[in-house]
Amino acid sequence: MLKMNPGDLEKNIGVSFNNKDLLTESLTHRSYLNEYPKWPLPHNERLEFLGDAVLELVVSDELFKKFSNYPEGQLTVLRAALVNYQILAKVAEGIGLEKFILLSRGEKKDTGKAREVILANAIEAVIGAIYLDRGIDIVSSFIKKFVMTNLEMVLKTKSYKDSKSELQEIVQEKLKLTPTYSVLEESGPAHKRIFKMGAYFGEKLVADGSGASKQEAELEAAKAALKKYK
């Protein structure tokens, strides 16, 4: 069984945990428990759920204060660009998170998009753990330092212009609606889920898309919807 030293990661992120088990739990992928069922901690998906919400709140608050003249639609687009799995995977790489994540041997071999999703989910779980252990002020500082610093790049490269953002702009202008997304189906083994997401205009399902994460599936659904409404 892999032994890890959470203290090394604490140095990388500049956060010292009171409860070290919370940090270790945030790094425990579901697949690891399949190989080591006696591992004393749960997998990180509950922390990922919490961290996702905390991340969105802090980023929303920062954007709200920074861009006082931006309408809701523009703020939503910028937030989506800052919290997408590709940006979060880069954040994870920057703090050396990959070598601390507890994965099965099979998952360690994943590359490309699957690897990015694992890294993005783990950084959200770490954010959830920081919030529980150290509170909103410390986790806000972490997010400002490692996530919000990507804002300049996002604005410069206009990487916020993804399919979801483009669809939102078109639909808000033409229909005065904001597209929403909902899970239509989940398939595959627990550690390697495939999500099918639907894009809705109001209550109307207009397109769907699939991917290894909900974010990825939402982007695919938005691309499909754009083909119909562009």
CATH number for position 135: 1.10.1520.10
Q: How many other CB atoms are found less than 10 A from the CB of residue 230?
A: 8
Alpha-carbon 131 to chain mean position? 16
One digit per residue, pLDDT tens: the chain, 230 residues? 445 677 899 999 999 999 999 999 999 999 999 899 999 999 999 999 999 999 999 999 999 999 999 988 788 888 988 998 889 999 999 999 999 999 988 888 776 778 898 999 999 999 999 999 999 999 999 999 999 999 999 888 876 667 887 888 888 888 888 899 999 999 987 767 899 999 999 999 999 999 888 878 898 999 999 988 76
User: Is 175 found in the same domain as 146?
Assistant: no
Which of 108, 142, 157 is at the close of a domain?
157
Which of 132, 157, 182 is at the close of a domain?
157
Please tell me whether the overall predicted TM-score, pTM, comes out greater than 0.85 for this model.
no
* Distance, CA of 133 to CA of 200 (rounded, Å): 37
Q: Give the pLDDT confidence of 37-60 residue by residue, as tens digits.
A: 999 999 999 999 999 999 999 999
Minimal CA–CA distance to 44: which of 30, 56, 55? 30
User: Is 198 found in the same domain as 101?
Assistant: no
Q: Which residues are catalytic?
A: 52, 124
Q: Is 47 exposed, middle or buried (0-12, 13-18, 19+ CB in 10 A)?
A: buried
Query: What per-residue confidence (pLDDT) applies to 63?
Result: 97
Q: Does 83 fall in a domain?
A: yes
Tokens of 34: 């399949």
User: Is 35 found in the same domain as 124?
Assistant: yes
Query: What per-residue confidence (pLDDT) applies to 160?
Result: 67
Which range of residues forms the domain containing residue 122? 6-157
3-state class of 158 per DSSP? coil
* Distance, CA of 188 to CA of 165 (rounded, Å): 29
Domain count, the chain: 2
Q: Does 150 fall in a domain?
A: yes
Q: Are 163 and 80 in contact (CB under 8 A)?
A: no
Query: What per-residue confidence (pLDDT) applies to 157?
Result: 80
Token match 């997408």: residue? 84
